[in-house]
Amino acid sequence: MGVFGIVVCVVAVALAFYLVVCYNRLVRLKHNIKAAWSNIDVLLKQRHDELPKLVTTCREYMKFEQETLEKVIKARSQVSNAMEAGDMAGLGVAENFMHNALGRLFALTESYPELKANESFMRLQSRVTSLENSIADRREFYNDSVNVNNITVDAFPTNLVAGWFAFKHADLFEVAEEQLQDVDMAKLFA
């Protein structure tokens, strides 16, 4: 084998090594996205389980606020449906609806001092608020993982390997535009 043969072999081995490295990186990114989504999924399910308890506790005190309680129940259902369908855009909309419904519910509790004094309600409110904060943190991590994946799938020459092995873009978990705006506190108390 001559010099040309050796060069061809070295280039072929280097190319094969590069393809393996690219493929493994794409696989790792795909699994990071799945892991990040699993973390969000667990938190959403925990919140899903806590909300009926919160609504039941509030219902005992807030006889005249059925509309608000029904909005929380409807939002819970929308989040659940979007999760089951794997619809990230729908989940973002449902999360916005849930955020607004819970915000209104917690704002209305100010009018019910006996509810605010209820230990069960306070524990549930704290738990749901904690879950909301954890979901926001996990959503940020998920979106970072998706962003790294999408950049890698698009970047040359990794995009060639991604195309050959059908690696795809992942959807971001985005919130609605109105959730990014300032909260109108007067409207919450109206």
Whole-angstrom distance, CA of residue 118 vs CA of residue 12: 71
Which residue segment(s) compose the domain that 34 sits in? 3-189
Residue 173 phi/psi, 5-degree rounding, is: -95, 95
User: How many other CB atoms sit within 10 Å of the CB of residue 96?
Assistant: 19
Give, for all 190 residues of the chain, the pLDDT tens digit.
Answer: 789 899 999 999 999 999 999 999 999 999 999 999 999 999 999 999 999 988 888 887 777 678 888 889 999 999 999 888 888 888 888 988 898 889 888 888 888 888 878 888 889 899 999 999 999 999 999 999 999 999 999 999 999 999 999 999 999 998 766 554 554 545 544 4
Task: State residue 185's pLDDT score.
Answer: 44
What is the pTM (predicted TM-score) of this model? 0.77
User: How many other CB atoms sit within 10 Å of the CB of residue 68?
Assistant: 20
Task: State residue 160's pLDDT score.
Answer: 93
Token readout for 163 is 């195309």
Query: How many structural domains does the chain have?
Result: 1
Give the domain CATH number at 102.
1.20.1440.20
Closest CA to 42 of 171, 134, 146: 134
